[in-house]
Amino acid sequence: MSEAIAADSALTRWDRERAEEPFLFYRGPRGHMEWLSYEAAAKARSAGAPALPADLGELIGTISSVRPATASWLSREIGPPPPGRRDLWISWRSTRQGEERALLEWAVASGAAILVERSACFPADLAGWARPTLVNGPADDLGRWLDRLEAENPRWHRSSWQRRRLGRLRRMLIEGPPGSSAAARLEARFRGLSPESVAIVSPFPVEALV
């Protein structure tokens, strides 16, 4: 099966099973969040479809070249969400970037929802509001996100605050050179901030970039 056919098959499956379910969230012309269903995303790839914001159009265009082997490998590595729940991932960089493309492949294969918001650094404000189940980025970016969470952590009722902010998070993927100790340092900070969290903090798997 070719890569393009595999990608189309994944979208076709979700279009058939979850036609009206939100798939892609993005910021519209007025700054408000809008979304495309699986059905709308599939139609957006057809000839003559209305133009989309550039970032969203790039992401949808990239779907046609996902690598099924990478998507399957990452799906096994990340694992399924808890029963009755759905993953949410923030795509904050161009999908031409290696890690970003790999996670797009995972999202398409696994049925995760994608929130598209291009940013020069990890969008801490958006993460605080959207409460993604998976976050990824360079160690410095995610370190600054933890700095912000630590600064906002209230003196009282910390457990309930942490559950609101981090209760949905189940995976943090740290990007950086193989063998770096950054992931271990960030995991220690994260556990100190949210000791009740069951999220897994680990280096981004370089196998997904091959």
Whether residue 169 lies inside any domain: the answer is yes
What one-character DSSP code corresponds to residue 139?
A: H
Whether residue 89 lies inside any domain: the answer is no
Instruction: State the amino acid at position 47 in one-letter form.
Output: A
Q: For tokens 């003196």, what's the residue?
A: 155
Domain shared by 65 and 133, yes or no: no
Domain shared by 1 and 100, yes or no: yes
**pLDDT tens for residues 193-205?**
888 888 999 999 8
Domain shared by 100 and 153, yes or no: no
Domain shared by 51 and 13, yes or no: yes
Domain shared by 114 and 140, yes or no: no
Sign of CA dihedral 27, 113, 135, 177: negative
Domain shared by 63 and 133, yes or no: no
Q: Report residue 28's pLDDT band, with 50, 70 and 90 as the boundaries.
A: confident
Strands laid side by side in the 134-138 sheet: 33-37, 22-27, 113-116, 88-91, 134-138, 171-175, 200-203
Domain shared by 40 and 113, yes or no: yes
- Per the structure, the complete domain to which residue 40 belongs is given by 1-76+94-118
**pLDDT tens for residues 164-191?**
778 899 999 999 888 788 899 999 999 8
Q: Report residue 134's pLDDT band, with 50, 70 and 90 as the boundaries.
A: very high
Whether residue 178 lies inside any domain: the answer is yes
Domain shared by 100 and 21, yes or no: yes
Q: CB under 8 Å to 41, separation ≥6 — which residues?
A: 11, 15, 23, 24, 60
Whether residue 88 lies inside any domain: the answer is no
Whether residue 83 lies inside any domain: the answer is no
Domain shared by 63 and 139, yes or no: no
Domain shared by 68 and 99, yes or no: yes
What one-character DSSP code corresponds to residue 202?
A: E
Q: Report residue 55's pLDDT band, with 50, 70 and 90 as the boundaries.
A: confident
pLDDT at 57: 82
Whether residue 23 lies inside any domain: the answer is yes
Domain shared by 107 and 134, yes or no: no
Domain shared by 18 and 99, yes or no: yes
Total structural domains in the chain? 2
Strand 33-37 with 22-27, pairing: antiparallel
**pLDDT tens for residues 150-160?**
887 767 666 67
Q: Is the pLDDT of residue 163 over 60?
A: yes
**pLDDT tens for residues 113-131?**
999 999 999 999 899 889 9
Computed over every residue of the chain, the mean pLDDT equals: 83
